Amino acid sequence: MLGMLRVKKSAGKINIRGRLLSDEPMAAHTTYRVGGPADLFAVPADSADLAALLRFCHSEGIEPFILGGGANILVSDRGIRGLVIDMTQINRISINNDTLQVGAGLAVSDAAAWCADRGWAGLHFLYSMPGSVGGAVWMNARCYDGEIYEVLRYVDQMHPDGSTTRYLPRAEDFDYKISPFQTANRVIVDCGIALTAADRETLWQQMHSYRADRESKGHFAAPSAGSVFKNNRAFGSPSGAIIDRLGLRGLRIGGAQVSERHANIIVNTGNATAYDIDRLATLVAEQVEQQFGFTLEREVLKVGEW
Ligand SMILES: Cc1cc2nc3c(=O)[nH]c(=O)nc-3n(C[C@H](O)[C@H](O)[C@H](O)COP(=O)(O)OP(=O)(O)OC[C@H]3O[C@@H](n4cnc5c(N)ncnc54)[C@H](O)[C@@H]3O)c2cc1C
């Protein structure tokens, strides 16, 4: 509570071109459609705004939460104390030779479509995956035999003092759902992505097949954050297959339900709370642990005041 009062009191020191809101409901910014209010919610209009916000946080001793598309987070019902920085307006896009230069806040699927329209592959495998370019890099998102690290040429990153440096990816920094940004206090601002010339029609056919595959798995049928548990096959099968063996599809707590169509997805059936979703994920993990002795690792990040 003290933190909340302090951050709101200092809000007058923030001077940006973009929007600054108080008590913004996070449910409006997450694909689960749950989450209580953020004390302060800023939408920087450009990198200068972002630098001003980071400097504010630095001087006030506040750790901001950087929001991409909200597609891999579970925000608590109590919400987030402090400042949320919504990256969606950092969304410029251009091509320089065979490198895509793209702002971290652009939806990764929109970036893939923009490139495909111009006959470039690179991000195509992420078409129709929810979330931003920055979130995909932070998570080292992967699907359909691709992971974003493989096409990442550089990241322009901002530090807490507002300065920017260019990071060049190194193989040892990335792994399954691991990127160096998870352990460093840096904001992904712009990304360079390696592009390959491709036939537009063939590329779009492939991308439409990815979307159709996601639709067939019910990805867009109800609010979710995709896979709840990491799927690194350390247990010999995907996490969904293990959960399936226990017959947990359809299991409910409150408004949260293990998807009938994919056992590693928990959906919000309409009136779920973050607490419902969290309890259901815990219950599933407990059952897997008891029956098989495997410890499932959460992929969806718990954010805010729990
Ligand atoms: C229906 C559905 C299907 C999905 N399928 C897949 C899939 O096939 N493969 C897969 O890998 N994931 C999948 N996901 C999960 C999700 O789409 C990815 O994890 C995505 O990359 C998250 O991006 P985001 O922008 O939404 O990140 P958010 O959820 O907003 O944030 C995730 C983390 O990244 C940090 N972050 C975000 N942007 C920045 C930035 N610019 N700088 C610094 N930190 C930042 C946040 O602080 C947070 O810690 C799916 C989700 C849904 C809802």
pLDDT tens readout for residues 128-168: 999 999 999 999 999 998 999 999 999 999 999 999 999 99
- Ligand 1 in reach of 47 Cβ (< 6 A): no
* Residue located nearest, by CA, to atom 11 of ligand 1: 141
What are the structural domains of the chain?
A: 2-86 (3.30.43.10), 93-216 (3.30.465.10), 239-303 (3.90.78.10)
pLDDT mean over 47-76: 97
Q: Are 39 and 65 in contact (CB under 8 A)?
A: no
Task: Measure 12 CA to ligand 1 centroid, in angstroms.
Answer: 31
**Catalytic site residue 201?**
no
How confident is the prediction for the chain on average, in pLDDT? 95
- Ligand 1 in reach of 67 Cβ (< 6 A): yes
Q: What predicted TM-score, i.e. pTM, was given to this entire model?
A: 0.97
Task: Measure 176 CA to ligand 1 centroid, in angstroms.
Answer: 14
Confidence band, pLDDT 50/70/90 cuts, at residue 9: confident
- Ligand 1 in reach of 82 Cβ (< 6 A): no
* Residue located nearest, by CA, to atom 21 of ligand 1: 136
Residue 64 DSSP symbol: P
For 91, the 3-state DSSP assignment is: coil
Percentage of the chain lying above the pLDDT 70 cut: 98
The answer to whether residue 1 scores a pLDDT higher than 60 is no
CB atoms within 10 A of CB 2: 7
pLDDT, residue 232, reads: 65
Distance CA 149, CA 181 (A): 12
pLDDT mean over 70-82: 97
pLDDT mean over 236-241: 88
Interior CA angle at 271 toward 214 and 265, to 5°? 30
